[in-house]
Amino acid sequence: MFQIYNSMTRKKEIFKPVEENKVSIYTCGPTVYSNAHVGNFSSFLMADLLVRYLKFKGYQVKWVMNITDVGHLTDDNELTDSGEDKMEAASRRENRTVWEIARHYEDLFMKDLKTLKFMPAFKYPRATEHIEEMIEIAKALEDKGVVYETSDGIYFDISKFPEYGKLSGNTIDALQAGARVDVNEDKKSPFDFAVWKKIGGKNLNHAMKWDSPWGTGFPGWHLECSAMSRKYLGETIDFHTGGEDNKFPHHESEIAQSETANGKKFVNYWMHKSRVVVNNEKMSKSLGNFFTVSDLTEKGFSPEAIRFTFISAHYRSKLNFTEEQILESQKTIDKFNDFIQEVMKSEVSEGSTQVLSIIKSSKQQFIKGMDDDLNVSAALAALFGFIKPVRKNINSGSFNQKDKEEVIKFLKEIDSIFSVFSFEEKKGKSFSEEEKRMIENLIEQRNICRKEKNWSEADRIRDELNKMGVEVVDKK
């Protein structure tokens, strides 16, 4: 039984899909106006882990991650609609059209997804290709009388949605009281949000624009997720994931729009990824203290280690991201990979052994951990506890062909979730006849040196062999 912490109720809940055996997952994806950083990916990896685990559990998973390629606002206040569109700003900065910016950073993003071994989603819909669907929702909202028009756009009147704030724990009253934002005079409440923005005023030169019943303009930020999740996943979806900073106002606003337009519950389970910090400092684009995936791979860290670092930290606790963490992840991965090699190269015996029951109990323990709100720590403990007794069986020669196959099969199942192990059997490098003769010669010389206790010469030969790619391990 899979339990998940629902940010809406702030409780762990037993997962029940809308449709039996099927799961729909919507992930708030990147805004493609610059390089995505590992903070972004840590959030997407939470979704990837969820997707992969539910597949492991046998569900048919439909995962959608949007690409936000129409800008929302930059350094100023989204609620009062000051500030500049991010895509437009990037366009000016890089002297490219907004469309070039969008496609360029989307390409980079897709490459990074591949590098980090993401499960491909069912669809990565672009906001700009769903303007019609957004307008449809905006019209529905208009029909229900929850929006009003101002000189610069169409706004959702949050007083028409009394539950506004239920996700972030705010109430409309509390929001008003704690307001730190300047009031936009045209708006009834500072927390009313734009559904559609008109071209004009400081948006006069907005490059991305479309026709709508309210004139030429562009959609409000929150609308795209309401539109695209409905189109691809339906009116009520199982999971909606994103960073915790998206709770307010983004997800609140999505809820208000979708639930008003559809007259149905929007999302059954909300999952929010805690922030990644670097050296205990907030990591953000504005502070500039972030790493991209290529920053890290260029430093020599493996994609697997980067992936594992984010996956192995629980998604609801803050992760203090450091290079030490990545190195430790690499060690853990190496440990499993060494074990896999050992299993693949092991000699098999006849007769019955304990191995199958070890697999069974480890698997149960693993599932128990993952079933509990993706408790990877507990699940990993099960795997560490698995290696030891199996290795014992291998070393004592109590390991049959079936065991060997089942151990590999089990680890491959696990890796369908983690996707960090390597199952390629490391074959010895192939050498030419001449090289082989040379190597044998060196080994013989070294053995003579060892017999004569000429250790320095023996070690020198060992170094030389290592350089040729020959691993030398002495046994008694």
Partner RNA sequence: GGCGACGUAGCCAAGUGGUAAGGCAGAAGUCUGCAAAACUUCCAUUCACCAGUUCAAAUCUGGUCGUCGCCUCCA
Residues 287-326 touching RNA, rule: CB under 7 A, are: 313-314, 316-320, 324-325
Residues 134-163 that bind RNA (CB under 7 A): none
Question: Three-state SS across the chain?
Answer: CCEEEECCCCEEEECCCCCCCEEEEEECCCECCCCCEHHHHHHHHHHHHHHHHHHHCCCEEEEEECEECCCCECCCCCCCCCCCEHHHHHHHHHCCCHHHHHHHHHHHHHHHHHHCCCCCCCECCEHHHCHHHHHHHHHHHHHCCCEEECCCEEEECHHHCCCCCCCCCCCHHHHHHCCCCCCCCCCCCCCCEEEEEECCHHHCCCCCCECCCCCCEEECCCHHHHHHHHHHHCCCEEEEEEEHHHHHHHHHHHHHHHHHHHCCCCEEEEEEECCEEECCEECCCCCCCCCEHHHHHHCCCCHHHHHHHHHHCCCCCCEEECHHHHHHHHHHHHHHHHHHHHHHCCCCECCCCCHHHHHHHHHHHHHHHHHECCCHHHHHHHHHHHHHHHHHHHHCCCCEHHHHHHHHHHHHHHHHHHCCCCCCCCCCCCCCHHHHHHHHHHHHHHHHHHHCCCHHHHHHHHHHHHHCCCCCCCCC
CB of 213 vs RNA, minimal distance in Å: 26
Check residue 257 for interaction with RNA (CB under 7 A). no
CB of 327 vs RNA, minimal distance in Å: 8
Check residue 246 for interaction with RNA (CB under 7 A). yes
CB of 245 vs RNA, minimal distance in Å: 4
CB of 239 vs RNA, minimal distance in Å: 14
Query: Among residues 325 and 362, whose Cβ is nearest to RNA?
Result: 325
Query: Among residues 147 and 376, whose Cβ is nearest to RNA?
Result: 376
- Residues 225 and 227: their CA atoms lie apart, in Å, by 5
CB of 462 vs RNA, minimal distance in Å: 7
The residue from 230, 242, 253, 393 that contacts RNA (CB under 7 A) is 242
Query: Among residues 260 and 337, whose Cβ is nearest to RNA?
Result: 337
**Near RNA by CB under 7 A, which window of 17-25, 129-137, 356-364, 447-455?**
447-455
The residue from 30, 125, 217, 219 that contacts RNA (CB under 7 A) is 30
Q: In what order do the strands lie in the sheet with 237-243?
A: 60-65, 22-27, 237-243, 267-273
Residues 325-344 that bind RNA (CB under 7 A): 325, 328, 331-332, 335, 338
- Burial class from Cβ neighbours inside 10 Å (0-12, 13-18, 19+) for residue 63 reads buried
The residue from 91, 170, 226, 268 that contacts RNA (CB under 7 A) is 170
Residues 452-471 that bind RNA (CB under 7 A): 453, 455, 458-459, 462
The residue from 142, 238, 244, 259 that contacts RNA (CB under 7 A) is 244
CB of 308 vs RNA, minimal distance in Å: 11
Mask for 71-100, x = binds RNA (CB under 7 A) = -xxxxxxxx---x--x--------------
The residue from 114, 129, 163, 174 that contacts RNA (CB under 7 A) is 174
Size, binding site for RNA by CB under 7 A: 91
Check residue 368 for interaction with RNA (CB under 7 A). no
The residue from 92, 114, 264, 282 that contacts RNA (CB under 7 A) is 282
Check residue 422 for interaction with RNA (CB under 7 A). no
Residues 372-391 that bind RNA (CB under 7 A): 372, 375, 377-378, 380-381, 384-385, 387-388, 391
Mask for 36-75, x = binds RNA (CB under 7 A) = xx-xx-xxx---------------------------xxxx
CB of 429 vs RNA, minimal distance in Å: 18
